[in-house]
Amino acid sequence: MIRFLLAAVMIVLLPMGVSAQGAQVAFGGLQQDTRAPVEVTADSLQVNQADGTALYSGNVVIVQGQMRLAAPRVLVVYSSAGGRIQRMEASRGVTLVSGSEAAEAQRADYNIEAGQVIMTGNVLLTQGPSALTAERMVVNLRDGTAQMSGRVRTVLQQDPDAQDQP
């Protein structure tokens, strides 16, 4: 019985690219142009010209292309050259949505130049009816992949209408 369960787990996890470092999953819904305009809405804004930051708080929603990020608090850090957004640090419970895929975590750091979102703290990724959890997820927005690490757990829902293939 244990061999059967181990074999079943390996069959399910191998296509997802599980490694000793964690699981790499397709995240095609989040592949996007990181040069697209960024729209931010919030209840309040505090700008600090001295350190080049803007703190948005209260019902913060950030939209870039097809991606939407929501959090209670987001710190936007601007580059010193040109005033372009360098990175955004969302905290206190973050939701990242694109298409049918969604991720939740305690914190998300979005490095726009690198095209990378790092989510940490009780990460939950849903892809349709399937779900993955981990402590950390690194999303590469340029190629639409994500690397999950830190006690990765996967729940894969089977299509009830699918016929068993001989």
Instruction: Please choose, from the candidates 98, 89, 93, the residue with its C-alpha nearest in 3D space to the C-alpha of residue 36.
Output: 98
Q: What pLDDT, in 10s, does the model give residues 51-108?
A: 999 999 999 999 988 889 999 999 999 988 767 889 999 999 999 988 778 999 999 9
Q: Please tell me the distance from the alpha carbon of residue 108 to that of residue 88, in angstroms, as a whole number.
A: 8
Write down the pTM of the prediction.
Answer: 0.75
Q: Are strands 153-155 and 130-140 parallel, antiparallel or unpaired?
A: antiparallel
Secondary structure percentages of the chain, helix, strand, coil, to 5: 10, 55, 30
Q: What pLDDT, in 10s, does the model give residues 15-56?
A: 333 333 455 566 545 556 677 888 999 999 999 989 999 999
Among 46-50, 80-84, 130-134, 138-142, which stretch is predicted with the lowest mean pLDDT?
80-84
In the numeric block, which tokens belong to residue 125? 């990724």
